[in-house]
Amino acid sequence: MFASTAGGRIALDRGGAAQEFTVDVHNGNTRAYTGLRVVLQMETMAQTAAAPAANGLVLERRDPATGAWRRAELRVANDMYPHHLYPDGTPLAREASRVERYRLRALADGPAGSQPLLVQLVDTSAPEDAGTDLAVPRTASLMVTVNAERG
């Protein structure tokens, strides 16, 4: 799995346009997965006062069936959420791949600053007592910078 975007980072202006990024998920030839879920998380942007919900950011995922953009969950927290508490993931066969498209935008009243966006591939079918190496087979990150002024 890897995450990518034009320029290698997400650069946003408060109240400005969204920037797209992709998460490419590739399965090897060892086993099929019954439930994989891409999870996106970041810490609070501490450079400004109290942040609104989701760091003042709006995350959307493109629905591959309809082409519509739908709101997606962006978890803002300083701790990791246990894998077994995430809702169902989707199957991925051996040697299969998929690309998930996302876009992120900053609200006009949100904070400014920089923070990494953690991208995790979570195996929602892993046993509750599974270690992180089994329950979260891959991680990646993209740097997100929100500028205070529109560019």
pLDDT in tens, 65-112: 999 999 999 988 877 778 888 888 999 999 999 999 999 999 988 888
Residues linked to residue 135 through DSSP beta bridges, in sequence order: none
**Global pTM?**
0.89
Cα–Cα dist 151/143, whole Å: 18
Per-residue pLDDT at 139 exceeds 80: yes
Cα–Cα dist 3/128, whole Å: 27
pLDDT for res 73: 92
- What digits encode the pLDDT tens for the residues 23-73? 999 999 889 999 999 999 998 876 555 556 678 899 999 999 999 999 999
User: Which range (6-20, 36-50, 63-77, 119-133) has the least confidence?
Assistant: 36-50
pLDDT for res 110: 82
Strands (E), 81-137: 90-92, 97-106, 113-123
Nearest to 119 by CA among 50, 48, 21: 21
pLDDT for res 116: 95
The pLDDT confidence band at residue 150, using thresholds 50, 70 and 90, is low
pLDDT for res 48: 55
End-to-end CA separation in angstroms for the chain = 32
CB crowding 48-68: b at 16 or more within 10 Å, else e: eeebeebbbbbbbbbeeeeee
